[in-house]
């Protein structure tokens, strides 16, 4: 479909046709890239997340189904979709979380941050694609450092680098195409998680929430200012994240 620049119904209609030479050539090139274990999302330049299509490039982590658990948790915490909330997505990458929240909460504002200017460029394009640019602000910086002191958020959400240095060497070759800094903290996997949980209270309203994604490294120790409200598990009962609440 991508090589021929057609959609699925057109592909079905043309299933007995021989593709044009140029299309066949493009397809063979793409198959060669996949044989080299390049992820399909990078080859075609997009990936679906929460039933929406997002542009991706090697500058950003490819959106994954497990990250949708964070969206589900947010919808449970904030059932009034028409209320004005202030959300913040830390380490936004492609912007899939920030843009999805802006789409699902049409009256809310979202700040998205990333250490990478190249990643933010992709995120901005995805905000434009889904017509939420007026309600999204992008800031460059490390973790919580770009956040304004005068703003108290209802929710801070993040899918930080949580793969440990030891674990990353055991992952599939496809992961070698993704930005290493978006995958691992080059330590035990908890360094960024610990910083988020420790410092989130400075940027949350009283009673506000922090949601983080995690993996085999687990969750960090909960500081006195925060309460671990719930652990998030996937269908295989593997720990996927945590929901914290600021209790001043």
Q: How far is residue 46's CA from residue 41's CA, in Å, rounded to a whole number?
A: 5
- Decide if pLDDT at 236 tops 90: no
- Enclosing domain of residue 83: 58-246
The answer to whether the beta carbons of residues 103 and 81 sit under 8 Å apart is: no
Q: How far is residue 18's CA from residue 32's CA, in Å, rounded to a whole number?
A: 20
CATH of the domain at 179: 3.40.50.150
For the entire predicted model, the pTM comes to: 0.93
Residue 223 located in a structural domain: yes
Phi, psi of 240 (to 5 degrees): -120, -15
The pLDDT tens digits of the residues spanning 104-123 come to 999 999 999 999 999 999 99
Total number of domains constituting the chain = 1
Residue 64 located in a structural domain: yes
The answer to whether the beta carbons of residues 65 and 97 sit under 8 Å apart is: no
User: Quick one: how far is CA 139 from the chain centroid?
Assistant: 16
Please name the residues in contact with 21: beta carbons below 8 A apart, sequence gap of 6 or more: none
Angle among Cα 149, 151, 153 to the nearest 5 degrees reads: 120
The pLDDT tens digits of the residues spanning 60-84 come to 999 999 999 999 999 999 999 999 9
R_g of the chain computed on alpha carbons = 19
Residue 207 located in a structural domain: yes
Residue 141 located in a structural domain: yes
Q: How far is residue 94's CA from residue 114's CA, in Å, rounded to a whole number?
A: 10
10 Å CB burial of residue 32 (0-12, 13-18, 19+) is: exposed
pLDDT of residue 237: 87
Residue 117 located in a structural domain: yes
* % of residues, the chain, pLDDT over 90: 96
Q: How far is residue 55's CA from residue 123's CA, in Å, rounded to a whole number?
A: 8
Q: How far is residue 207's CA from residue 65's CA, in Å, rounded to a whole number?
A: 28
Residue 157 located in a structural domain: yes
The pLDDT tens digits of the residues spanning 175-231 come to 999 999 999 999 999 999 999 999 999 999 999 999 999 999 999 999 999 999 999
Residue 121 located in a structural domain: yes
Banded pLDDT at 169 (limits 50, 70, 90): confident
Q: How far is residue 160's CA from residue 215's CA, in Å, rounded to a whole number?
A: 10
Work out the average pLDDT over 42-51: 96
Residue 8 located in a structural domain: no
């Amino acid at each position: 479909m991508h090589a021929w620049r057609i959609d699925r119904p057109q592909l079905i209609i043309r299933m007995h046709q021989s593709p044009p030479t140029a299309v066949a050539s493009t397809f063979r090139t793409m198959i060669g890239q996949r044989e080299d274990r390049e992820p399909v999302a990078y080859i075609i330049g997009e990936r679906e997340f929460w039933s929406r299509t997002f542009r991706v490039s090697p500058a950003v982590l490819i959106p994954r189904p497990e990250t949708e658990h964070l969206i589900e948790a947010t919808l449970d915490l904030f059932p009034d979709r028409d209320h004005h909330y202030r959300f913040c997505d830390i380490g936004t990458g492609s912007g899939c979380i920030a843009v999805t929240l802006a789409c699902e909460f049409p009256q809310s504002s979202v700040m998205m941050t990333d250490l990478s200017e190249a990643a933010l460029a992709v995120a901005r394009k995805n905000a434009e694609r889904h017509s939420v640019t007026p309600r999204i602000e992008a800031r460059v910086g490390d973790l919580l450092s770009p956040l304004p002191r005068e703003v108290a958020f209802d929710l801070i959400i993040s899918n930080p680098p949580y793969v440990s240095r030891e674990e990353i060497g055991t992952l599939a070759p496809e992961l070698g195409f993704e930005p290493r800094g978006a995958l691992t903290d080059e330590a035990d996997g908890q360094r960024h998680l610990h910083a988020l949980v420790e410092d989130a209270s400075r940027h949350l309203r009283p009673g506000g929430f922090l949601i983080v994604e995690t993996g085999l490294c687990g969750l960090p120790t909960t500081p006195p200012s925060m309460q671990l409200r719930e652990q998030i598990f996937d269908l295989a009962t593997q720990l996927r994240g945590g929901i914290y609440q600021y209790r001043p």
